[in-house]
Amino acid sequence: MPELPEVETVRRGLAPAMEGVVIKAADIRREGLRWPFPDNMAARLRGARVERLRRRSKYILADLDRGETLLIHLGMSGRMQVSGDPLGQFHHDHPAALKHDHVVLDMANGARITFNDARRFGAMDLIDTATLAQHPLIAVLGPEPLGNAFDGPYLVERFKGKKTPVKSALLDQGIVAGLGNIYVCEVLFRAGIPPKKHAGQIAAPAVAALVPIIRDVLSEAIDAGGSSLKDYKQVNGKLGYFQHSFAVYGREACPCVTPGCDGVIVRINQSGRSSFFCPLCQR
């Protein structure tokens, strides 16, 4: 599933083609994806101007001038493609329709936004912008890891007394929004913390030190266009390349990248997800 860096990369790719632009036509080709599309979705989108394109956790949010926000979640395999962009940043010609192109938005500037999702775990919804923060999907989210509300004292307080593994705590979207399995593995390696250690057992200075490490890993991944492992591509069709910088994720049985370390990367299962770590560097 695309994580924060991938979703942010997609948002940045969509912005030049969508922000400040009217949706000229909306072609909705099925009744829904993970859940049904809202009533009259095509009519509600047609003629609306996209005032702002933003991200909250792993959701892309397009604020419309009609007082509604289009919420987009990529799910497991969802992809957004831009074609015909007059700014010349993307493909000049619109590609032929594909089997899993479920929503197509034609913008007034000539750009076309296509949402393709082979597994159909993605989602789109229209939500009242004024009450978006109270929506069940949004209200449960913790602070953004790249935002000012996420800092050392906050994380220390949230970890205090927690008996869950630190890996699970960092994946808890109510503690910090947008982190996923890949980047938590990389963060814990840089921090030298084993994934099974209870969050409440980590000393406060080490917990606080996780914050800048999280910011660094996410920022580096965004700069690299995200990580392409299976389905993820940027809106121009290019792959991300942060996967080439993985220190532990997906590197089971490979030697540790730390100079002088004789460790070998281990994979364990935690709550149905794979955790990768170096048993010598992280202990």
d(Cα 126, Cα 149) in Å, to the nearest integer? 27
Q: How far is CA 67 from CA 125, 130, 132, 135, 187, in A?
A: 14, 7, 10, 15, 38
Active site residues: 2-3, 58, 273
> How long is the chain?
283
Residues 6 or more apart whose CB falls under 8 angstroms from that of 29 comprise 101, 102, 103, 104
Bridging pattern class, strands 101-107 and 59-64? unpaired
Residues 6 or more apart whose CB falls under 8 angstroms from that of 185 comprise 167, 195, 248, 249, 275, 276, 277
Q: How far is CA 223 from CA 10, 145, 216, 219, in A?
A: 12, 16, 11, 6
